[in-house]
């Protein structure tokens, strides 16, 4: 994947754009899926908490939107 540097160097209000491709299993059933994102501490692979009231946030992840997968 890549790196945006240590969290301690992030400035408030900065937006990271990080395009990536998600490979879905061929037998994934069609339907409406939620797309969530979280940030993890490396190398512990510990999810960092969300420290403010963000719409769509739950369990350390933020909902980016919904995706409909066709049959």
Q: Please list the helix, strand and coil fractions of the chain in percent, rounded to the nearest 5, in that order.
A: 5, 30, 65
pTM beyond cutoff 0.85 = no
Mean pLDDT, the chain, integer: 84
pLDDT recorded at residue 10: 81
Residues of the chain with pLDDT under 70: 1-3
pLDDT recorded at residue 25: 94
pLDDT recorded at residue 31: 96
Short-list 51, 14, 61, CA closest to 4: 14
Helix (H) or strand (E) holding 69: strand 61-69
> What count of residues does the chain have?
71
């Amino acid at each position: 994947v890549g790196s945006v540097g240590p969290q301690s160097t992030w400035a408030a209000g900065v937006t990271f754009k990080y395009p990536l491709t998600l490979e879905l299993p061929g037998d994934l059933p069609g339907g409406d899926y939620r797309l969530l994102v979280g940030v993890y501490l490396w190398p512990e692979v510990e999810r960092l908490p969300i420290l403010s009231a963000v719409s769509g946030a739950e369990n350390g992840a933020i909902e980016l939107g919904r995706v409909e997968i066709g049959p």
